[in-house]
Copies of this chain bind each other. A is one copy, B any other.
Amino acid sequence: MDLESASQVKQGLLAGGWSRVKALAKNFKTKVFDFFSNVKKLGQDDPRRVVHSLKVGLALTLVSLFYYYQPLYDSFGVSAMWAVMTVVVVFEFSVGATLGKGVNRGIATLLAGVLAVGAHKLAILSGRIGEPIVLGFFVFIQAAVSTFARFYPKMKARYDYGLLIFILTFSLISVSGYRDDDLLELAHKRLSTVLIGGSTCVVISILLFPVWAGQDLHNLTASNIEKLAYFLEGFGDEYFKMAEQEGEPKEDKSFLQGYKSVLNSKSNEDALANFARWEPGHGRFQFRHPWKQYQKVGALTRHCAYRIESLSGYLNADIQGKPEIRTRIQETCTKMSLESGKALKELGLAIKTMTKPFGADTHIENSKSAAKNLNSLLKSGLWDDEMDLLEIVPVATVASLLIDVVNCTEEIAESVRELASMANFQGIKTSSVSPEKPKPDQSNSHEAMNCSSVIITIGDGESSSHDQEPQNSSPTMNNTSSSRPSPRTAEV
């Protein structure tokens, strides 16, 4: 190889290397950009996340004053680190979770400290050789028993963290006692620093932009019901329109997908309800607000969502049933769906505004009378000639599932009514005074109620209202769905 070609090869390599470096740099740039836009979205979805992060930073900085400020350091010394640790592990997203962990940690530290000092006194009695054996025995027994207790469902739900801290403190103090003679002071310092750290968290989490798990649960319950409402309000038009307008521009169909997040909402709701029980009265919620009832409402909402999941399969099914058959039940089915949807919307609104759900009653009655109409329509023998049963089946199924949905709606309404009376919701009629409900929508539904046998162009009249509303309220929906960091807090 002569020199010239060698230098050419070298140049070629350099050029290739350079272009690779450029590609890498570009790739890196895109990744960094993606990363930052993700981070931005994370903060925008729920600005409370940013606030929470700053609050944690503040609490930690405050507690580190124990190290910097001489008089404080003189009284606590290295024990101050327990305050720092407590802040890190206790500060959670919601007030309820923070309070729950703080109270658990405080009480468990106190109990375990007392018991550990007792265990230490007992162990001393058995002499210098017996002491580690007795101590080891105590540590083993309490760790095994407490760990097993953590499997007990009731304990697990509320005191899991307390049991963990109990094991921790008992082991640390009883074992330290073997080396440190001033055990009482050790226990006392640990307890007081834990209390200082815990109360710092609780105070900051309550005073600075508090995030209430109860409020989140309340909003989640309402918005889950509303998600079903959006689907049901849209379903009738969506299912029956196909034949009518084929060439229409693609609309936003996201309101038909919203219910899917309801299907798996149980763990989130349970966590929030658990946290909410620790919270003091806040805003419109008393201390003993019936949080359990929210879980009941949530269970019924999911129950309804399962039916809707079955129903949604018929929106895009291959066999749709003959158009003629579908048009015959179009009116009643659309009405059942629409009125259930409106009833659910009223229920969601009633929860949100904490008013008695009077507005839902007429819609439920309407949906039930539509279901009855459907029954008589089916009985009336409009059908029996020249019809292929095969083509009736999908339509019949949709009708039948809608009847199920109407029943589910009634159950949800009943549970919301219970909630309203347990939580003393206000008694005003939401449907007529609520500023969020557009007037035309309301009047339209009354029209539909009064002349149920006349064909009303519900399809067109309503489609505009339900196409807009999900968009209008999407910020709040987003907001509530992004208030879902709480399962995270359950994982710590």
Contact = CB atoms under 8 A, between A and B. Distances in A.
A390 B404 contact: no
Given A58-B140, A491-B491, 18 more contacts: A53-B143, A60-B140, A61-B143, A64-B135, A67-B175, A68-B135, A68-B136, A68-B175, A78-B176, A84-B168, A156-B491, A160-B488, A264-B266, A267-B267, A310-B404, A381-B389, A383-B389, A393-B400
Contact of A64 (B84, B175, B302): B175
B151 A49 contact: yes
A23 interface: no
Contact of A56 (B57, B73, B144, B404): B144
Nearest to A88: B168
Given A151-B485, A310-B401, A385-B384, A88 B392 contact: no
A179 B73 contact: yes
B384 A389 contact: yes
A60 B171 contact: yes
11 contacts: A53-B144, A53-B145, A57-B143, A57-B147, A64-B175, A68-B136, A160-B488, A263-B306, A310-B404, A379-B390, A396-B397
Interface string A51-87: 0111011101100100110000100001001001100
Interface string A374-412: 010011010111111110111011011100100000000
A303 B312 CA distance: 12
A203 interface: no
A132 interface: yes
A151 B396 contact: no
Interface in A170-222: 171-172, 175-176, 178-179
Interface string A130-174: 001001100111011101101110001000110010011001100
Interface string A273-302: 000000000000000000000000000001
B176 A60 contact: no
A38 interface: yes
A389 B390 contact: no
B54 A144 contact: yes
A160 B489 CA distance: 10
B384 A167 contact: no
* Residue from A88, A132, A381 whose CB has the most chain B CB atoms within 10 Å: A88
Interface residues of A, number: 88
A392 B396 CA distance: 8
Given A68-B132, A160-B492, A168-B88, A393 B390 contact: no
A307 interface: yes
Contacts of A150: 488
A198 B385 CA distance: 77
A404 B397 CA distance: 11
Given A171-B64, A306-B309, A310-B310, A387 B384 contact: yes
A401 to B, nearest CB: 7
Interface of A: 38-39, 42-43, 49-50, 52-54, 56-58, 60-61, 64, 67-68, 73, 78, 81, 84-85, 88-89, 132, 135-136, 139-141, 143-145, 147-148, 150-152, 156, 160-161, 164, 167-168, 171-172, 175-176, 178-179, 263-264, 266-267, 302-303, 306-307, 309-310, 313, 375, 378-379, 381, 383-390, 392-394, 396-397, 399-401, 404, 485, 487-488, 490-492
Contact of A399 (B143, B393, B490): B393
B389 A392 contact: yes
B389 A85 contact: no
* Residue from A136, A172, A310 whose CB has the most chain B CB atoms within 10 Å: A310
* Residue from A39, A84, A151, A152 whose CB has the most chain B CB atoms within 10 Å: A151
A71 B384 CA distance: 94
A168 B88 CA distance: 6
B160 A491 contact: yes
Contacts of A152: 38-39, 42
Contact of A85 (B43, B136, B141, B172): B172
A57 B488 contact: no
Contact of A57 (B144, B156, B302, B390): B144
Contacts of A73: 179
Contacts of A50: 148
Nearest to A403: B393
Contact of A60 (B49, B143, B145, B164): B143
A194 to B, nearest CB: 13
A44 B384 CA distance: 60
A401 B390 contact: no
